[in-house]
Amino acid sequence: MPNSFFIEVNCQQKYHEGERICGDVFLSERVLGEERTIVVLSDGMGHGVKANVLATLTAKMALSFTKEHKEIHKIAEIIMNTLPVCSVRQMSYSTFTIVDIEHGGATRILEYDNPECLIMRGKERFEPGWQCVILQSEVNAGKELRYCTFTPQKEDRIVIWGDGITQSGMGSEDYPFGWGLENAQDFVARLIKNEANISARKLSTKLVNMAYLNDGYHPKDDISAATIYFRQPRKLLICTGPPFDKENDATLAKKFSEFDGKKVICGATTGDIISRELNLEIEDSFEFTDPDLPPISYMEGTDLVTEGILTLSKATELLSKFSETSIPGKGPADQIITLILESDEIHFIVGTGINVAHQDPSLPVELEIRRTVVKRMAQILQDKFLKEVKLTFL
């Protein structure tokens, strides 16, 4: 990916009232080795389990066919031919929006029956020049899809949504016919005008919450909105562990002090090395915000200083179980997660020196070797959170 911008992707959802599963399905994937990001939102007809099964089927097909670089018509035909058709309404049971982003190249969007997505260029709406794709096959003859292709610029955003957004509030005094596409688009434009660098996560959240409010907090449909934001990468450095050779202590401190972004130190020994080399004081706190972990410390120019392996292990565990409805707590591991979620590029500098403290056989088995913990965390950040991860071993 060119360093010019990072692609932040986030989807927020609220389920139809009384349902424990969402009838809208959102999938996203960074295609490794190809510098591509693919995003899919599918809305199954109705709500609940049946809608979820159909939307899952649609979203998975859309993702895999797009990955294989199939032609637009081909993707549409295969999906539409596979989907069951409602015997009463003679309609496919699922809608979809596919966004295929080539990093540093073109972005293609294909939509079937979802409300038209919104593309913002900075604070202004951008018109990509939509084309109509009409299917020819016997089963789907005459069905129309929308298609566009454009080259994104920094500060562009793509907002995709299901009709749970545009139809929210239907039957209410304010919106007897639903909130509508125009109101939803105006709402997004206002959010961006008020907060130019609003993150994808925050924008999706505010949009879904507004639709939820329109429905009087009793959603009559599944509500889904996803935002794709092309922006300057926000960087985070996590340093953990003493270097293998003592001569590398100065290198570690230099890399740490020169890093342009937020910084975290995990480990007392690591903190001592950096504080000694940079001539900075470490202040300990005695506020226990997590019963499992030692409290955090403070050092000038550092966003967070925590204990090492235990804290990283807990943060990794929390990340593996994290969902969009999770709210991080106040503990040291939670604070690491908050910083990670606010960042795009996560840089790890991992010292490979053996820490004497961890050679005690009475310590719990969960105390995995630092390198293993970091690699596991890196994997979760790449696969689940679509973060760019860079590992340096010293």
pLDDT in the model for residue 325:
74
pLDDT in tens, 256-279: 999 999 999 999 999 999 999 999
Distance of CA 31 to the CA centre of its chain: 15
pLDDT in the model for residue 355:
60
Question: Is residue 176 scored above 60 in pLDDT?
Answer: yes
pLDDT in the model for residue 327:
81
* Residues facing 150 on adjacent strands: 107
Tally Cβ neighbours within 10 Å of residue 107.
Answer: 23
Mean pLDDT, rounded, for 178-191: 97
Rounded percentage of the chain residues whose pLDDT exceeds 90: 68
**Domains, the chain, ordered by start:** 6-231 (3.60.40.10), 235-393 (no CATH)
For residue 185, give the H/E element and its range.
helix 181-194
**One-letter identity of residue 294:** P
User: Dihedrals φ, ψ of 15, to 5°?
Assistant: -85, 155
pLDDT in the model for residue 367:
45
Do the beta carbons of residue 316 and residue 377 sit within 8 Å?
yes
The set of residues, in sequence order, having a beta carbon less than 8 Å from that of 114 and lying 6+ positions away, is: 41, 43, 95, 96, 97, 160, 161, 162, 163
pLDDT in the model for residue 26:
96
The set of residues, in sequence order, having a beta carbon less than 8 Å from that of 175 and lying 6+ positions away, is: 168, 169, 183, 214
Of 245, 249, 256, 264, give the one whose Cα is nearest residue 374. 264
Question: Is residue 132 scored above 60 in pLDDT?
Answer: yes
pLDDT in the model for residue 303:
96
pLDDT in tens, 56-107: 999 999 999 999 888 887 888 888 887 766 655 555 578 999 999 998 889 9
The set of residues, in sequence order, having a beta carbon less than 8 Å from that of 369 and lying 6+ positions away, is: none
> What is the rounded distance in angstroms from the CA atom of residue 306 to the CA atom of residue 353?
18
> What is the rounded distance in angstroms from the CA atom of residue 61 to the CA atom of residue 51?
16
pLDDT in tens, 200-240: 999 999 999 999 999 999 999 999 999 999 998 999 999 99
Question: Is residue 326 scored above 90 in pLDDT?
Answer: no
| pTM, rounded to two decimals | 0.81
